[in-house]
Amino acid sequence: MAVNEAERSAMRRALELASLGPRGVNPQVGAVILSPTGEVLAEGWHHGAGTPHAEVDALSQLAPGAARGATAVVTLEPCNHTGRTGPCAVALIEAGVSRVVFALDDPGAVSGGGAERLRDAGVGVEAGEQADAARALIGGWLAALRLGRPHITVKWAQSLDGRAAAADGSSQWITGHPARADVHRRRAQADAIAVGTGTVLSDDPALTARDGDELHPRQPVPVVIGARATPSDAAVRRHPRAALFYDTRDLHAVVADLHARGIQSVFVEGGPTLASAFIAAGLVDRVLVYLAPVLLGGERLALTDIAVPTIAEARRLTIEEWVPLGADLLAVGHPTSVNENDDENEGAG
């Protein structure tokens, strides 16, 4: 049975409701319950870990039996497992819902399978309605689920000859205003922004995301990694979000803790030591390199040791796009996979 206009409208509303929920360990999910004639009976969304899932949140607003014969429109396949809450598929079956329309399959090995359970109970199921919009909404959660850790972007700005700073250590500003504005826009899209203690001590960055002179409504959690102490009057301590400090060089432990806290994406800003450590550890999913048309010379390289002893072991990147930003140029790429290398080698024949 094809999705009708009332269900399409309900899915658009469910996506709006989903966006009200917090980003974190659990996905943002919204639900709308429709009567057999297409009228909205109830709405709900997931308010955070440990709270009722979107379907149950919506059902809780109805009197017993009021959902019998109704249609549930949900942004993610109803779950099929018992955690801190029960299986949503079972809740819908017990409520007497006769049809479920959802946008995305639940990719969880434990939580997936709700659609099959619904069908086995005689409930009509339609999957894929506005899937692209739902995927865009919870893309960070999907990436973190796939990776088993946050999605990590490493960013740096450099001169054409690969320097991050001049001989005296000054680095503001290598790039122009359009490039810096682009950085702030990308900061606001991340859940956390990470720097090393060296950068905190030398530059005293605020680590905020700004739109001109104003703070962006969405701010990343500042993360400082390194053994040296952060001064009590450091700008990062005045950030709108409480900073996280890690006195360790074990980046895998840091990333695991961030993942446990519900951080889905990390924006690594520097400096060269921290950026190089993430690359050497294989903890990079995307690279942003802002290239400025200046020459600096000297020893202050944008990257240091990234564990490449020979050219055969170079860490190759696949460039996704080149973005002109005023006089500067942004390279957006990701580490080249084995399959991509194989494709290139086949093409070279």
Instruction: Give the separation between CA 44 and CA 33, rounded to whole angstroms.
Output: 9
> Over 50: is that where the pLDDT of 349 sits?
no
Instruction: Give the separation between CA 75 and CA 307, rounded to whole angstroms.
Output: 43
Question: 148-347 maps to which CATH number?
Answer: 3.40.430.10
Q: What pLDDT does 271 receive?
A: 84
Report the share of the chain in percent with pLDDT over 90.
74
Instruction: Give the separation between CA 242 and CA 217, rounded to whole angstroms.
Output: 16
> Over 70: is that where the pLDDT of 227 sits?
yes
SS3 assignment, position 88: helix
Q: Is 55 a catalytic residue?
A: yes
Whole-prediction pTM: 0.80
Q: How confident is the model at residue 113 (pLDDT cuts 50, 70, 90)?
A: confident
Instruction: Give the separation between CA 258 and CA 290, rounded to whole angstroms.
Output: 26
From the number of C-beta atoms within 10 Å of its C-beta (0-12, 13-18, 19+), residue 44 rates as buried
Burial 89-110 (b: 16+ CB within 10 A, else e): bbbbbebebebbbbbbebebee
Check 7, 43, 55, 269 and give the catalytic one.
Answer: 55
Q: What pLDDT does 339 receive?
A: 59
Alpha-helix residue ranges (DSSP H) falling in the chain:
5-18, 54-59, 88-95, 114-120, 131-137, 139-147, 177-189, 197-203, 251-260, 272-280, 338-347
Sequential DSSP letters for 262-284: T--EEEEEE-HHHHHHHHHTT--
Mention every residue, 6+ apart, whose C-beta is less than 8 A from residue 339: none
Q: In this predicted model, what pLDDT tens digit does every residue of 130-158 receive, in sequence order?
A: 999 999 999 888 988 889 999 999 999 99
CATH class of the domain at 5-136: alpha beta
Which of 79, 139, 154, 155 shows the shortest CA–CA distance to 264? 139
Instruction: Give the separation between CA 342 and CA 328, rounded to whole angstroms.
Output: 32
Which of 257, 201, 252, 205 shows the shortest CA–CA distance to 227? 201
Domain with CATH 3.40.430.10 in the chain: 148-347
Average pLDDT, integer, range 6-11: 96
Domain with CATH 3.40.140.10 in the chain: 5-136
